[in-house]
Amino acid sequence: MGESGPGERGRGARLVILSALAWSTAGLFTKGSAADAWAVLFWRGIFAGPLMLLYLRLWVREPFWPSCRALGWPGWLVVTVASCTTIAFLNAFKLTSIANVTMIYATAPFAAAALGWLLLGERPRAGAILVSAAALVGVAIMVSGSLGTPSLAGDGLALLMTLLMALYLVLIRRFAARPMVLAAALSSLQISLIAWPLSETLWPGWSELAWLAAFGLVQAAAVVALTAGARRLPAAECALLSAMEVPLAPLLAWLVFGELPPAATFVGGGLVLAGLFWYIGRDLRPAPAGR
């Protein structure tokens, strides 16, 4: 299990927040590409995977083949869960609004707290339970606005992605001694192999390719930061901090695409954000000296 001392915890929090800033651009890159979701997944993996491997070789100096052997079955489980999470994530963006996907993702603390308690014995803080319950209510309101529309499928994929992401965070913490950045890199390559035969048109053109290369670079940085940060924090707290992307992604979508979410998203998302910021301001505040 990962370390959780004050220094490590603070470092983990900063890394997770940086990853959230990078993750908040995923909807822009996905919606901004004319390629189908499987082509986006293929090229994202082609660019992100090797970049993460390069990081491991030049920066961490982690030997490749011994690290692959060190993954064991837990590491390959993380690889597969990460792949399924990303596939659901990017397909959701193609089927529903960026706001709905990111707001639904804010329920990850609820799932991570439950899984962390069941699998790791980590009792979630009272504040985390309260905020997670508020997030769940908020998402129920948002999904109700998609009933009877094509966006419902996208909302369903977003919910699936959220559950898988919670499991991913718990597994990273449970098997923190395994080379998890390598697992993330291999997941990107695994995604490319899965997406290859499923894409309608694999070659997107040179301008699209440059766009998807930038996507791969940003996502590689996000994964490295999230993986390193998640090893240092309880799963529920990590999920809450990573949900910092929730207010950023819809704002970017509105500024760039003029994508205005429906009223249900405003109501439900407002509830999610209110609880999230209350938790960050209260439960993550350092305790007074002597307590």
Q: What pLDDT shows up at residue 290? A: 47
Burial class (CB in 10 A: 0-12, 13-18, 19+), 193: exposed
Number of Cβ within a 10 Å radius of residue 18: 18
What's the CA gap between 282 and 101, in Å, rounded? 26
CB 165 within 8 A of CB 85: yes
* Residue 206 neighbours by CB distance under 10 Å: 8
Q: pLDDT for 14-32, tens place per residue? A: 888 888 888 889 888 998 8
Query: Domain limits of the chain?
Result: 6-282
Which of 50, 63, 54, 33 is closest to 187 using CA atoms?
Answer: 50
Q: What is the pLDDT of residue 1?
A: 46
Query: Is the pLDDT reported for residue 150 higher than 70?
Result: no
Q: Compute how many other C-beta atoms are within 10 angstroms of the C-beta atom of residue 202.
A: 15
Inter-residue contact 229 to 240 (CB < 8 Å): no
Q: Which of 80, 72, 90, 66 is nearest to 186 (CA)?
A: 80
Using the predicted structure, report yes or no on whether residue 148 has a pLDDT greater than 70. Answer: no
Report pLDDT digits (tens) over 223-239.
Answer: 888 878 877 887 667 76
Q: What mean pLDDT do residues 52-79 have? A: 88
Per residue in 243-282, pLDDT (tens digit) is: 677 777 887 888 888 877 777 777 877 787 777 677 666 6
Give the pLDDT confidence score for residue 179 in this predicted structure. Answer: 86
Residue tagged 């910092």 (tokens): 244
Query: Mapped to the 3 state alphabet, what secondary structure does the chain carry?
Result: CCCCCHHHHHHHHHHHHHHHHHHCCHHHHHHCCCCCHHHHHHHHHHHHHHHHHHHHHHHHCCCHHHHHHHHHHHHHHHHHHHHHHHHHHHHHHHHCCHHHHHHHHCCHHHHHHHHHHHHHCCCCCHHHHHHHHHHHHHHHHHHHCCCCCCHHHHHHHHHHHHHHHHHHHHHHHHCCCCCHHHHHHHHHHHHHHHHHHHCCCCCCCHHHHHHHHHHHHHHHHHHHHHHHHHCCCCHHHHHHHHCCHHHHHHHHHHHHHCCCCCHHHHHHHHHHHHHHHHHHHHCCCCCCCCC
* pLDDT computed for residue 73 by the predictor: 92
pLDDT at 114: 79
Indicate if the pLDDT at residue 121 is higher than 90: no
Q: Are 182 and 62 in contact (CB under 8 A)?
A: yes
pLDDT band at 285; cut points 50, 70, 90: low
pTM of the entire structure? Answer: 0.79
pLDDT of residue 291: 45
**Which two three-digit tokens encode residue 243?**
């949900």
Looking at per-residue confidence, does 11 or 147 come out higher? 11
Q: Are 138 and 130 in contact (CB under 8 A)?
A: no
